Structure 1
Amino acid sequence: MHEILDSLRGYLLENWPELLWIVAAAGVASYLAGRRARSRWRRRDFLDRLNVTLSSIDDGTLRIRTILEMDCEQIFLNATAAKSVVALARRTTADDPILPIPKEDCWQYLNAVLNEISERFADGHIKRDLGLPVQRGQYVLCLTCERAGPVRTQKVRGMLIRKSLLTAFPREEPRYESSWHVTRWKTLQQLAEQYAKNPHRFLELEICL
Protein backbone atom coordinates (compact mmCIF):
# COMPACT_ATOMS: atom_id res chain seq x y z
CA MET A 1 0.00 0.00 0.00
CA HIS A 2 2.82 2.39 0.92
CA GLU A 3 4.51 1.62 -2.40
CA ILE A 4 1.35 2.54 -4.30
CA LEU A 5 0.99 5.82 -2.40
CA ASP A 6 4.66 6.67 -2.91
CA SER A 7 4.33 5.94 -6.62
CA LEU A 8 1.22 8.12 -6.88
CA ARG A 9 2.90 10.93 -4.94
CA GLY A 10 5.91 10.76 -7.21
CA TYR A 11 3.73 10.88 -10.32
CA LEU A 12 1.88 13.93 -9.04
CA LEU A 13 5.08 15.74 -8.17
CA GLU A 14 6.59 15.04 -11.58
CA ASN A 15 3.50 15.88 -13.62
CA TRP A 16 1.64 18.51 -11.60
CA PRO A 17 1.99 21.29 -14.24
CA GLU A 18 0.42 19.11 -16.92
CA LEU A 19 -2.31 17.89 -14.57
CA LEU A 20 -3.06 21.45 -13.48
CA TRP A 21 -3.37 22.49 -17.12
CA ILE A 22 -5.80 19.63 -17.83
CA VAL A 23 -7.99 20.56 -14.86
CA ALA A 24 -7.95 24.25 -15.81
CA ALA A 25 -8.78 23.49 -19.45
CA ALA A 26 -11.66 21.23 -18.42
CA GLY A 27 -12.99 23.94 -16.10
CA VAL A 28 -12.83 26.61 -18.81
CA ALA A 29 -14.50 24.30 -21.35
CA SER A 30 -17.28 23.51 -18.88
CA TYR A 31 -17.80 27.21 -18.13
CA LEU A 32 -17.94 28.17 -21.82
CA ALA A 33 -20.33 25.32 -22.62
CA GLY A 34 -22.63 26.41 -19.82
CA ARG A 35 -22.45 30.02 -20.95
CA ARG A 36 -23.34 29.05 -24.53
CA ALA A 37 -26.24 26.92 -23.29
CA ARG A 38 -27.62 29.79 -21.19
CA SER A 39 -27.25 32.20 -24.09
CA ARG A 40 -29.07 29.83 -26.45
CA TRP A 41 -31.86 29.39 -23.93
CA ARG A 42 -32.33 33.15 -23.60
CA ARG A 43 -32.41 33.51 -27.38
CA ARG A 44 -34.58 30.39 -27.79
CA ASP A 45 -31.98 29.13 -30.26
CA PHE A 46 -32.27 25.36 -30.74
CA LEU A 47 -31.07 25.01 -34.31
CA ASP A 48 -29.41 21.69 -33.55
CA ARG A 49 -32.93 20.24 -33.20
CA LEU A 50 -35.12 19.26 -36.14
CA ASN A 51 -38.86 19.42 -35.58
CA VAL A 52 -41.24 17.91 -38.14
CA THR A 53 -44.71 19.41 -38.00
CA LEU A 54 -47.88 18.71 -39.91
CA SER A 55 -49.63 21.91 -40.96
CA SER A 56 -53.25 21.63 -42.05
CA ILE A 57 -56.38 23.72 -42.35
CA ASP A 58 -59.36 21.99 -40.78
CA ASP A 59 -62.79 23.61 -40.82
CA GLY A 60 -61.23 27.03 -41.39
CA THR A 61 -58.66 26.66 -38.59
CA LEU A 62 -54.91 26.34 -39.05
CA ARG A 63 -53.68 23.36 -37.07
CA ILE A 64 -50.03 22.58 -36.33
CA ARG A 65 -49.08 19.21 -34.87
CA THR A 66 -45.65 17.77 -34.11
CA ILE A 67 -44.83 14.48 -35.85
CA LEU A 68 -41.32 14.08 -34.46
CA GLU A 69 -38.41 16.02 -32.98
CA MET A 70 -34.80 14.84 -32.86
CA ASP A 71 -31.24 16.12 -32.80
CA CYS A 72 -30.00 16.92 -36.29
CA GLU A 73 -27.14 14.45 -35.91
CA GLN A 74 -29.62 11.64 -35.19
CA ILE A 75 -31.42 12.35 -38.45
CA PHE A 76 -28.54 13.09 -40.80
CA LEU A 77 -26.21 10.53 -39.15
CA ASN A 78 -23.19 12.71 -39.84
CA ALA A 79 -21.80 15.56 -37.75
CA THR A 80 -20.65 17.50 -40.82
CA ALA A 81 -24.07 17.24 -42.48
CA ALA A 82 -25.80 18.30 -39.25
CA LYS A 83 -23.53 21.35 -38.92
CA SER A 84 -24.25 22.24 -42.55
CA VAL A 85 -27.98 22.15 -41.86
CA VAL A 86 -27.56 24.49 -38.89
CA ALA A 87 -25.43 26.86 -40.99
CA LEU A 88 -28.05 26.83 -43.75
CA ALA A 89 -30.79 27.52 -41.21
CA ARG A 90 -28.96 30.65 -40.07
CA ARG A 91 -29.06 31.94 -43.66
CA THR A 92 -32.85 31.86 -43.94
CA THR A 93 -34.76 35.14 -43.99
CA ALA A 94 -38.22 36.40 -43.20
CA ASP A 95 -38.94 36.49 -46.94
CA ASP A 96 -37.61 32.99 -47.62
CA PRO A 97 -37.73 30.57 -44.68
CA ILE A 98 -36.69 27.53 -46.77
CA LEU A 99 -33.14 26.36 -46.11
CA PRO A 100 -30.96 27.45 -49.08
CA ILE A 101 -29.70 23.93 -49.77
CA PRO A 102 -27.76 23.61 -53.05
CA LYS A 103 -29.97 22.04 -55.69
CA GLU A 104 -27.72 19.00 -56.09
CA ASP A 105 -27.91 18.28 -52.33
CA CYS A 106 -31.64 18.81 -51.75
CA TRP A 107 -32.66 15.19 -52.18
CA GLN A 108 -29.95 13.94 -49.82
CA TYR A 109 -31.03 16.17 -46.94
CA LEU A 110 -34.76 15.82 -47.49
CA ASN A 111 -34.59 12.06 -47.90
CA ALA A 112 -32.93 11.69 -44.49
CA VAL A 113 -35.93 13.41 -42.91
CA LEU A 114 -38.37 11.47 -45.08
CA ASN A 115 -36.86 8.20 -43.80
CA GLU A 116 -37.58 9.20 -40.20
CA ILE A 117 -41.17 10.09 -41.07
CA SER A 118 -41.70 6.89 -43.08
CA GLU A 119 -40.47 4.76 -40.20
CA ARG A 120 -43.26 6.12 -38.01
CA PHE A 121 -45.90 5.15 -40.57
CA ALA A 122 -44.41 1.81 -41.60
CA ASP A 123 -47.41 -0.16 -40.31
CA GLY A 124 -49.67 1.50 -42.84
CA HIS A 125 -47.46 0.52 -45.76
CA ILE A 126 -47.29 -3.09 -44.56
CA LYS A 127 -51.09 -3.19 -44.24
CA ARG A 128 -51.42 -1.85 -47.76
CA ASP A 129 -49.00 -4.47 -49.07
CA LEU A 130 -51.07 -7.18 -47.36
CA GLY A 131 -54.21 -5.91 -49.04
CA LEU A 132 -55.73 -4.57 -45.83
CA PRO A 133 -57.84 -1.40 -45.91
CA VAL A 134 -55.79 1.76 -45.42
CA GLN A 135 -56.14 5.47 -46.00
CA ARG A 136 -53.51 7.10 -48.17
CA GLY A 137 -52.41 10.69 -48.55
CA GLN A 138 -49.86 12.52 -50.68
CA TYR A 139 -47.71 14.96 -48.72
CA VAL A 140 -44.94 17.41 -49.42
CA LEU A 141 -41.87 17.96 -47.24
CA CYS A 142 -39.37 20.80 -47.08
CA LEU A 143 -36.85 22.14 -44.56
CA THR A 144 -37.34 25.60 -43.09
CA CYS A 145 -36.29 27.94 -40.32
CA GLU A 146 -38.93 30.58 -39.68
CA ARG A 147 -37.63 34.09 -39.03
CA ALA A 148 -40.70 36.28 -39.43
CA GLY A 149 -43.20 37.24 -36.77
CA PRO A 150 -43.48 36.02 -33.18
CA VAL A 151 -41.60 32.72 -33.52
CA ARG A 152 -41.30 31.22 -30.04
CA THR A 153 -38.20 29.08 -30.69
CA GLN A 154 -35.62 28.91 -33.45
CA LYS A 155 -35.45 25.35 -34.80
CA VAL A 156 -34.93 23.64 -38.10
CA ARG A 157 -38.44 22.64 -39.09
CA GLY A 158 -39.47 19.94 -41.49
CA MET A 159 -42.75 21.23 -42.91
CA LEU A 160 -45.17 18.44 -43.80
CA ILE A 161 -48.17 19.61 -45.81
CA ARG A 162 -50.80 17.75 -47.76
CA LYS A 163 -49.98 18.17 -51.46
CA SER A 164 -53.55 19.05 -52.39
CA LEU A 165 -53.48 21.92 -49.89
CA LEU A 166 -50.18 23.31 -51.14
CA THR A 167 -51.15 23.18 -54.82
CA ALA A 168 -54.53 24.85 -54.24
CA PHE A 169 -53.64 27.11 -51.35
CA PRO A 170 -56.56 29.19 -50.03
CA ARG A 171 -56.42 32.96 -50.11
CA GLU A 172 -58.65 33.47 -47.09
CA GLU A 173 -56.75 33.73 -43.82
CA PRO A 174 -57.78 30.98 -41.38
CA ARG A 175 -58.51 31.14 -37.69
CA TYR A 176 -55.61 30.39 -35.36
CA GLU A 177 -55.39 28.10 -32.36
CA SER A 178 -52.60 30.34 -31.03
CA SER A 179 -51.74 33.93 -31.89
CA TRP A 180 -48.18 33.10 -32.99
CA HIS A 181 -49.51 30.71 -35.64
CA VAL A 182 -49.86 33.72 -37.92
CA THR A 183 -46.17 33.16 -38.71
CA ARG A 184 -46.93 29.66 -39.97
CA TRP A 185 -49.69 30.99 -42.21
CA LYS A 186 -47.21 33.36 -43.84
CA THR A 187 -44.69 30.53 -44.15
CA LEU A 188 -47.23 28.30 -45.86
CA GLN A 189 -48.04 31.06 -48.33
CA GLN A 190 -44.34 31.30 -49.16
CA LEU A 191 -44.06 27.53 -49.49
CA ALA A 192 -46.98 27.36 -51.90
CA GLU A 193 -45.28 29.96 -54.09
CA GLN A 194 -41.91 28.21 -53.92
CA TYR A 195 -43.40 24.79 -54.66
CA ALA A 196 -44.75 26.14 -57.93
CA LYS A 197 -41.46 27.83 -58.86
CA ASN A 198 -38.78 25.56 -57.35
CA PRO A 199 -40.16 22.06 -56.76
CA HIS A 200 -36.61 20.70 -56.22
CA ARG A 201 -36.70 22.30 -52.76
CA PHE A 202 -39.42 19.83 -51.77
CA LEU A 203 -39.84 16.08 -51.58
CA GLU A 204 -43.11 14.23 -52.06
CA LEU A 205 -44.11 11.23 -49.98
CA GLU A 206 -47.10 8.98 -49.46
CA ILE A 207 -48.39 8.20 -45.99
CA CYS A 208 -50.63 5.21 -45.28
CA LEU A 209 -52.68 4.62 -42.15
Structure 2
Amino acid sequence: MKRIFDFLFSIAAIVVLSPILLVLALIVKFTSKGPVIFSQRRIGKDKKEFDIYKFRSMYVDTPKDVPTHLLDKPDAFITPVGKFLRKTSLDELPQLFNILKGEMSFVGPRPALYNQYDLVELRDNVKANSIRPGITGWAQINGRDELPIPVKVEYDRYYVEKMSLFLDVKIILKTFTSVLLSKGVVEGKQEEVKEKEHINV
Protein backbone atom coordinates (compact mmCIF):
# COMPACT_ATOMS: atom_id res chain seq x y z
CA MET A 1 0.00 0.00 0.00
CA LYS A 2 2.76 2.42 0.95
CA ARG A 3 4.57 1.89 -2.36
CA ILE A 4 1.34 2.33 -4.36
CA PHE A 5 0.62 5.56 -2.47
CA ASP A 6 4.17 6.81 -3.11
CA PHE A 7 4.03 5.95 -6.82
CA LEU A 8 0.66 7.55 -7.52
CA PHE A 9 1.21 10.67 -5.44
CA SER A 10 4.74 11.25 -6.78
CA ILE A 11 3.33 11.25 -10.34
CA ALA A 12 0.53 13.61 -9.30
CA ALA A 13 2.94 15.90 -7.45
CA ILE A 14 5.37 16.06 -10.39
CA VAL A 15 2.56 16.99 -12.78
CA VAL A 16 1.00 19.59 -10.47
CA LEU A 17 4.33 21.10 -9.44
CA SER A 18 5.96 20.98 -12.89
CA PRO A 19 5.68 24.79 -13.43
CA ILE A 20 7.38 25.39 -10.07
CA LEU A 21 10.04 22.79 -10.83
CA LEU A 22 10.77 24.49 -14.15
CA VAL A 23 10.96 27.99 -12.65
CA LEU A 24 13.26 26.82 -9.85
CA ALA A 25 15.48 25.01 -12.34
CA LEU A 26 15.85 28.17 -14.44
CA ILE A 27 16.59 30.28 -11.37
CA VAL A 28 19.31 27.89 -10.21
CA LYS A 29 20.77 27.71 -13.73
CA PHE A 30 21.03 31.45 -14.30
CA THR A 31 22.14 32.60 -10.82
CA SER A 32 25.30 30.51 -10.39
CA LYS A 33 27.60 28.29 -12.39
CA GLY A 34 27.08 24.56 -12.30
CA PRO A 35 24.40 21.95 -12.93
CA VAL A 36 20.79 22.51 -11.91
CA ILE A 37 20.53 19.18 -10.12
CA PHE A 38 22.91 18.10 -7.39
CA SER A 39 23.23 14.35 -6.85
CA GLN A 40 24.83 12.58 -3.92
CA ARG A 41 25.34 8.94 -3.00
CA ARG A 42 23.00 7.86 -0.21
CA ILE A 43 22.01 4.65 1.54
CA GLY A 44 18.61 3.27 0.59
CA LYS A 45 16.45 0.27 1.45
CA ASP A 46 18.51 -2.77 2.49
CA LYS A 47 21.60 -0.52 2.35
CA LYS A 48 21.52 -0.31 -1.43
CA GLU A 49 23.23 2.87 -2.59
CA PHE A 50 21.45 5.34 -4.86
CA ASP A 51 21.87 8.94 -6.07
CA ILE A 52 19.59 11.39 -4.29
CA TYR A 53 18.47 14.44 -6.29
CA LYS A 54 18.26 18.02 -5.10
CA PHE A 55 18.22 21.44 -6.69
CA ARG A 56 21.79 22.67 -6.36
CA SER A 57 21.92 25.16 -3.50
CA MET A 58 25.70 25.38 -3.10
CA TYR A 59 28.66 26.37 -5.25
CA VAL A 60 30.32 23.65 -7.31
CA ASP A 61 33.55 23.70 -5.24
CA THR A 62 31.71 22.70 -2.03
CA PRO A 63 32.94 19.41 -0.46
CA LYS A 64 30.41 16.93 -1.86
CA ASP A 65 30.34 14.18 0.74
CA VAL A 66 30.18 16.25 3.93
CA PRO A 67 26.80 17.00 5.58
CA THR A 68 26.17 20.74 5.44
CA HIS A 69 25.72 20.99 9.20
CA LEU A 70 29.32 19.76 9.60
CA LEU A 71 30.89 22.44 7.42
CA ASP A 72 32.93 25.07 9.29
CA LYS A 73 31.58 28.03 7.31
CA PRO A 74 28.54 26.88 5.32
CA ASP A 75 27.50 30.41 4.34
CA ALA A 76 30.63 30.62 2.20
CA PHE A 77 29.40 27.68 0.12
CA ILE A 78 25.66 28.34 -0.12
CA THR A 79 24.47 30.44 -3.05
CA PRO A 80 22.11 33.38 -2.41
CA VAL A 81 19.26 31.48 -4.07
CA GLY A 82 20.36 28.35 -2.24
CA LYS A 83 19.67 29.94 1.12
CA PHE A 84 16.05 30.42 0.14
CA LEU A 85 15.76 26.93 -1.33
CA ARG A 86 17.16 25.32 1.79
CA LYS A 87 15.12 27.40 4.22
CA THR A 88 11.90 26.48 2.40
CA SER A 89 13.05 22.91 1.60
CA LEU A 90 12.28 23.54 -2.06
CA ASP A 91 15.68 22.08 -2.90
CA GLU A 92 14.22 18.68 -1.94
CA LEU A 93 11.51 18.67 -4.64
CA PRO A 94 13.56 16.68 -7.20
CA GLN A 95 13.38 13.77 -4.77
CA LEU A 96 9.89 13.22 -6.15
CA PHE A 97 11.73 11.45 -8.98
CA ASN A 98 13.59 9.28 -6.43
CA ILE A 99 10.18 8.29 -5.06
CA LEU A 100 8.87 7.56 -8.54
CA LYS A 101 11.88 5.30 -9.18
CA GLY A 102 11.24 3.39 -5.95
CA GLU A 103 14.41 4.56 -4.22
CA MET A 104 12.61 6.69 -1.63
CA SER A 105 9.25 7.18 0.03
CA PHE A 106 7.42 10.33 1.08
CA VAL A 107 7.94 9.31 4.72
CA GLY A 108 10.82 7.37 6.24
CA PRO A 109 14.24 7.88 7.82
CA ARG A 110 16.25 10.49 5.93
CA PRO A 111 18.80 8.65 3.77
CA ALA A 112 22.29 8.60 5.25
CA LEU A 113 25.34 9.58 3.23
CA TYR A 114 27.18 6.50 2.00
CA ASN A 115 30.09 7.39 4.32
CA GLN A 116 28.04 7.95 7.50
CA TYR A 117 29.07 4.55 8.76
CA ASP A 118 28.12 5.21 12.38
CA LEU A 119 24.57 6.20 11.46
CA VAL A 120 24.15 3.23 9.09
CA GLU A 121 25.43 0.79 11.72
CA LEU A 122 23.10 2.10 14.42
CA ARG A 123 20.15 1.96 12.03
CA ASP A 124 20.93 -1.72 11.44
CA ASN A 125 20.20 -2.33 15.13
CA VAL A 126 16.69 -0.84 14.85
CA LYS A 127 15.92 -2.22 11.35
CA ALA A 128 15.69 1.28 9.89
CA ASN A 129 17.81 0.22 6.92
CA SER A 130 15.14 -2.31 5.94
CA ILE A 131 12.64 0.33 4.75
CA ARG A 132 12.79 3.02 2.09
CA PRO A 133 14.22 6.36 3.25
CA GLY A 134 11.92 9.37 3.03
CA ILE A 135 11.79 13.01 2.03
CA THR A 136 10.54 13.61 5.56
CA GLY A 137 10.31 11.47 8.66
CA TRP A 138 9.66 11.23 12.38
CA ALA A 139 13.13 12.56 13.19
CA GLN A 140 12.67 15.42 10.72
CA ILE A 141 9.68 16.83 12.61
CA ASN A 142 11.32 16.29 15.98
CA GLY A 143 14.58 18.17 15.55
CA ARG A 144 16.05 17.51 12.10
CA ASP A 145 19.71 18.70 11.92
CA GLU A 146 19.74 19.54 15.62
CA LEU A 147 19.59 15.88 16.61
CA PRO A 148 22.70 13.91 17.57
CA ILE A 149 22.93 10.59 15.75
CA PRO A 150 21.85 8.30 18.65
CA VAL A 151 18.70 10.37 19.15
CA LYS A 152 17.96 10.41 15.44
CA VAL A 153 18.22 6.61 15.40
CA GLU A 154 15.84 6.38 18.37
CA TYR A 155 13.26 8.31 16.37
CA ASP A 156 13.92 5.98 13.43
CA ARG A 157 13.30 2.99 15.71
CA TYR A 158 9.99 4.47 16.80
CA TYR A 159 8.90 4.99 13.21
CA VAL A 160 9.83 1.45 12.15
CA GLU A 161 7.88 -0.03 15.07
CA LYS A 162 4.80 2.23 14.71
CA MET A 163 4.74 2.64 10.93
CA SER A 164 1.20 3.15 9.62
CA LEU A 165 -0.79 5.28 7.19
CA PHE A 166 -2.06 7.37 10.10
CA LEU A 167 1.49 8.08 11.31
CA ASP A 168 2.63 8.95 7.77
CA VAL A 169 -0.21 11.45 7.35
CA LYS A 170 0.60 12.95 10.76
CA ILE A 171 4.27 13.36 9.79
CA ILE A 172 3.43 14.92 6.42
CA LEU A 173 1.09 17.45 8.04
CA LYS A 174 3.64 18.36 10.71
CA THR A 175 6.33 18.65 8.03
CA PHE A 176 4.50 21.58 6.47
CA THR A 177 4.56 23.37 9.84
CA SER A 178 8.24 22.61 10.35
CA VAL A 179 9.09 23.89 6.86
CA LEU A 180 7.13 27.12 7.33
CA LEU A 181 8.94 27.78 10.61
CA SER A 182 12.31 26.47 9.37
CA LYS A 183 12.45 24.33 12.49
CA GLY A 184 15.54 22.21 13.03
CA VAL A 185 17.55 23.61 10.12
CA VAL A 186 21.20 23.89 11.14
CA GLU A 187 23.92 25.19 8.85
CA GLY A 188 27.46 24.56 10.04
CA LYS A 189 29.01 22.74 12.97
CA GLN A 190 27.14 22.86 16.24
CA GLU A 191 28.02 21.81 19.74
CA GLU A 192 26.73 18.36 20.63
CA VAL A 193 23.45 18.49 22.52
CA LYS A 194 22.31 16.24 25.31
CA GLU A 195 20.31 13.27 24.07
CA LYS A 196 17.70 13.43 26.80
CA GLU A 197 16.74 16.96 25.84
CA HIS A 198 15.44 15.72 22.49
CA ILE A 199 13.87 12.32 22.98
CA ASN A 200 10.11 12.74 22.99
CA VAL A 201 8.46 9.80 21.22
Bin for the TM-score computed over the shorter chain: under 0.3
TM-score computed with the length of structure 2 as normaliser: 0.27
TM-score computed with the length of structure 1 as normaliser: 0.26
Structure number with bigger Rg: 1
